[in-house]
Structure 1
Amino acid sequence: MAYGCYGIALEGAYDRLISYVIQSGITVAFCHIRGGGEYGEEWHRQAIKNNKFISINDFFDCTKGLIANNLCDAKRIGAAGSSAGALVVLSAALRRPDYFKIVQLSHPFLTPELILTDPDNPLTISDWDEFGYPSSSSCYDSFSPLAQLRRLPADFSNQAPDIWITAGKNDIKAPLLYTEQWLNSYSAIVPSAHNSVFLQLLDEGHHNSDDSLTGGCLSTIWLLDSLFDTD
């Protein structure tokens, strides 16, 4: 799991679903990557704006460390992220699909070049400090999951991880419209996308509601089934 944005530390309150995953035999790693707040403001500022790609590189390093220290099965690694953290983990998986068997995203922020240039979106002005001012169309190329679709590895379709996306119908921070735009672009490039991407829609906004636990149970069951599948 990774976040790596806004100077926010990844660990939060007790999560019963994460606890269940651990009890089921899955190792859960909270990756402290630059852009987050685990080691202070300088840790955060090292991976903002034009350096946002550093968050993705740090996530790779965490994954490599897990493999090198025999803390996981290298053929059964899942990447999970929510909101802006989804941008980090999905971009990593698109660059190196051979690292990840599955990707689990919640209320994902996948198209900064679209959302952050939309004057009607509440993210626009405040988030320029984090991701950079969109001074050109290539401003977000190094870290945007949408931009990554233009440079997928040649054999990506043969290695593409399964993807689960949970999105809120009333999410104003990561609007469903932009998630669907990323999905449409992905489906146009990856022939197997209709069999490997699952979109779960909840009647909620960006923050959790009473609908979240039920939705979280479904995505957790999918995660466990996928990681325990040895095929």
Structure 2
Amino acid sequence: MAKYHHCKDEPLHALYNNVEKLFPDLFMLFFLLHIHAYFWILFDNAITKHLMTYRRTGCLLSRDLDSSLVAVTLVKQLREAQTFAIGMEDSPNSLDARRVANHIGSEHHEVFFNSEEGIQVLDEVLFSLETYDITTVHASVDRYLIPKYICKNTDSMVTFSGKGSDELTQDQTTAAHSLELTVPFLDHQFTSYYLSLPPEMRIPENGIEKHLRDIFEDSDLILKEILW
């Protein structure tokens, strides 16, 4: 039976009023380009807004993508930033952080410690954290030692970190040494925009790092082995 058009039906010409329906692939391309551009603007601004200070600024650096992106953006804007890495001597984390620092041209500092030195500061770490939670304490020993080194051996008073919500306890260990911690990935504008994206674009396999990798794919700011 032939179906006649009803007044509540969408007219066929409506297809041409919607770019997403007419050119779905092209629409997605422009959508992703918009996301990447906005990601970069918000991330760059998240760092810039914390540079309005006369105090020396540094960045915690490890082998992961997040801290590398923060470090390279900071050096691009500040040019005289210090970077700090901590770990066992010649560990993969220390070696990769050193390579990133050489690539971006930062004034790099390496802090090495052994298990005995970690045990010696446990009481101080517990006092700063105000918790006996095993996981939190285990993850906070190096976070306590590196700001201790920064305050004793450098003139940096503000440090950037590439971590996010899982690193909120780090603020307690840096505050124990009167060191200000800045976390660009937790900037309210940056996180609000990311959380406004469709759910399918925020799942782990296509999460925030996927967008960041796409943004820096054709750039030489980040070493490819760190980027991927």
TM score, norm. by length of structure 1: 0.31
TM score, norm. by length of structure 2: 0.32
Decide which structure has the larger Cα Rg and report it: 2
- 1 or 2 for the larger relative contact order (CA 8 Å, sep ≥6)? 2
Higher helix proportion (structure 1 or 2): 2
